[in-house]
Amino acid sequence: MRELHHECGIAAIYHLGSDTTSKLAARDGPEQVARLMVRMLIDLQNRGQLATGMTSYNPNRDNVLSTYKQIGTVIEAFRLNHPGKSENILRENAGRAAIGHVRYATCGKNDKDHAQPFERYHGRRWKWFSMAFNGQLTNYPELKSELLNKEDYYLMRDLDTEVIMHYLSYELRGDDRPDLVEVFTNLSKKFDGAYNLVFMNGNGDMCVVRDPVGLRPLCYAIDGPLFAAASESVALSNLGFRDIKTLQPGEMVLIQDNELRIVRYAPSPRTAHCFFEWIYFANVASTLDDRSVYLSRAALGKELAIQEHRLGLIKPDYNTVVVPVPDTGKAAADAMAYELGIPSVEGLMRNRHIGRTFIEGNNRADRVKMKFSPLREVLEGRRVILVEDSIVRSTTLKSLLSLIRDRGGAKEVHVRVACPPIIAPCFYGIDMSTVDELYAPKFMRGKIITIEEQQAMARALEADSLFYLPLDAIARCIRLPVDKLCRACLTGEYPTLAGERMYQLALRRHHEGGSAGRTYEADEKPGCG
């Protein structure tokens, strides 16, 4: 129950031809390759825990496409704790290819109908398709309006995944089998925002698509006849793939007629990789766009130590310890402590065995108490430097600070944030779309935070001190140029036109006294990647 929710995750796998020389696919032959999708989704579970699903392709089955999806984690949905039931599910959905999805919703109902993939049945195989989506269409309201103005179109669900499905269907219209590269080229001219897609039709054609800006990560690998793609590299490396590559913005993988091609379907005038992927969202074992998540987070910790030395904020002594907020703060905390020459200790333990239903019905303070256990033996009487990956709304952090003092017995608690202040909403899939809900803008007069503003934040949180990383540290730690990253939530400068338009709307609503709803024109809801 952290302050910022994870993204969705997508995956695809395909066994090309009848060759079974791949060690990764040798177990039971090509038609059992879809079983590997479950393992891939487990490794993407950090990106979404509300629902999961997959669509498999099997030309020897009457229903050549078969979609299975359920509410819950991968283990819950695929009944992995019940071998007999799990085996039945996997046997019924066997196939030589599959696409998969794990979902966290920024809107929409938490029911099976909203889980992905979305399958659209048609009598012609090339019009019968299934698709899954990671991201958010920033111009969703305009796309929805345009769609509903067409004759006899309607939406069963108010989310951008269904809008994408309808636009795909529209591009597939006619009596001739379309060029799939042209299909996605046409869609790229309409869509604005973050959209990574996996698509598969009844002919066994597969497309793996990354948007032209590259906001969300996407990688792929090939081992003999076996191809796989996923939002994060860890899902591929844990299957045994070695040569894992980045799918570039504006590129797509096309598998058709048993051949695989990497194709540029749209120009990419600029890239804008979401920096939050490295500091928070992604699995620490992943490599995104050729940059290690772990090394990036460790570099953030070193930057915190440099700032500590430069400003002389605290003079560490034998009674000072660094404590990470689990789990995403650990790499930064360890690196910071090493540079300062003081211990990094796990003074907070995270309870990973509390179910979602049990904790969702309680208030935030109770949820924090149930999710985190302070170790009094480690914290009592100590000066604690608490390392947090980011502060979005601050409510969880304030409860956590109280917990560290009251139950942990810490003498002092100093917060260090391995991220600059978040001052603007995200319109590309992160669950923060209004200025009012953000913590930093309540204190900041400009876009660069001052020492006095950070001291005011610390007092409001009841921390002994609080300091953020400077803005220029992000690109330095990820080791990508500033112009290759999306830092819109840190700067208010958005990489797409619709994003900029949404920000101006958000600012207007903020200055007019705020809004209980999300920042979408005509009170529209956002999409749910």
Please give the pLDDT value at position 357: 39
d(CA 335, CA 310): 17
**Which domain-ending residue is among 272, 307, 322?**
272
d(CA 275, CA 58): 38
Compute the chain's Rg from CA coordinates: 24
- State which residues form the domain around 218: 9-272
Residue 2 inside a domain? The answer is: no
Structurally, the chain folds into a number of domains equal to 2
Question: Beta strand pairing status for 372-374 and 291-292?
Answer: unpaired
Please give the pLDDT value at position 313: 79
Residue 519 inside a domain? The answer is: no
Residue 282 inside a domain? The answer is: no
Same structural domain, 377 and 452 = yes
Please give the pLDDT value at position 122: 94
Residue 476 inside a domain? The answer is: yes
Tell me how far CA of residue 46 lies from CA of 4, 132, 280, 439, in angstroms: 12, 17, 10, 24
Same structural domain, 78 and 17 = yes
The CATH number of whichever domain residue 378 belongs to comes to 3.40.50.2020
Residue 3 inside a domain? The answer is: no
Same structural domain, 490 and 341 = yes
Residue type, 171: E
What residues are annotated to the active site?
8
Residue type, 107: C
234: enclosing H helix or E strand:
helix 234-237
Same structural domain, 259 and 300 = no
133: enclosing H helix or E strand:
strand 129-137
Q: Which of 70, 57, 149 is nearest to 112 (CA)?
A: 70
Same structural domain, 75 and 209 = yes
d(CA 464, CA 386): 11
Same structural domain, 266 and 350 = no
d(CA 94, CA 203): 16
Please give the pLDDT value at position 179: 97
Q: What are 360's two structure tokens?
A: 């969702």
Please give the pLDDT value at position 31: 86
108 within 8 A of 528, measured Cβ to Cβ: yes
Please give the pLDDT value at position 7: 65
CA dihedral angle for residue 397, residue 402, residue 404, residue 406, rounded to 10 degrees: -170
The CATH number of whichever domain residue 37 belongs to comes to 3.60.20.10
Same structural domain, 266 and 299 = no
Q: Could you tell me how many residues make up the chain?
A: 529
24: which residues sit within 8 A by CB, 6+ positions away?
36, 223, 224, 226, 239, 240, 241
Instruction: Tell me the pLDDT of the chain (529 aa) as tens digits.
Output: 344 555 699 999 999 976 545 555 545 678 899 999 999 999 999 998 899 999 999 999 989 999 999 999 999 999 999 999 999 999 999 999 999 999 985 444 567 888 999 999 999 999 999 999 999 999 999 999 998 888 777 788 878 899 999 999 999 999 999 999 999 999 999 999 999 999 999 999 999 999 999 999 999 999 999 999 999 999 999 999 999 999 999 999 999 999 999 999 999 999 999 999 999 999 999 999 999 999 999 999 999 999 998 888 788 889 999 999 988 899 999 999 999 999 999 999 988 766 543 334 456 667 777 888 999 999 999 999 999 999 998 888 999 999 999 999 999 999 999 999 999 999 998 888 889 999 999 999 988 999 999 999 999 999 999 999 999 999 999 999 999 999 999 999 999 999 999 999 999 988 887 555 555 544 444 444 5
Residue 166 CB-half CA count within 13 A: 22
Residue 176 inside a domain? The answer is: yes
Residue 481 inside a domain? The answer is: yes
Please give the pLDDT value at position 360: 46
Residue 461 inside a domain? The answer is: yes
Same structural domain, 135 and 41 = yes
Same structural domain, 195 and 227 = yes
Same structural domain, 235 and 316 = no
Q: What are phi and psi of 179, to 5 degrees?
A: -80, 115
Please give the pLDDT value at position 109: 56
Please give the pLDDT value at position 458: 96
Same structural domain, 268 and 297 = no
Burial of 484 (0-12, 13-18, 19+ CB in 10 A): middle
Q: How many CB atoms lie within 10 A of CB 59?
A: 13
Same structural domain, 260 and 352 = no
Q: Give 128-183 pLDDT, tens digit per residue.
A: 999 999 999 999 999 999 988 887 777 888 788 999 999 999 999 999 999 999 99
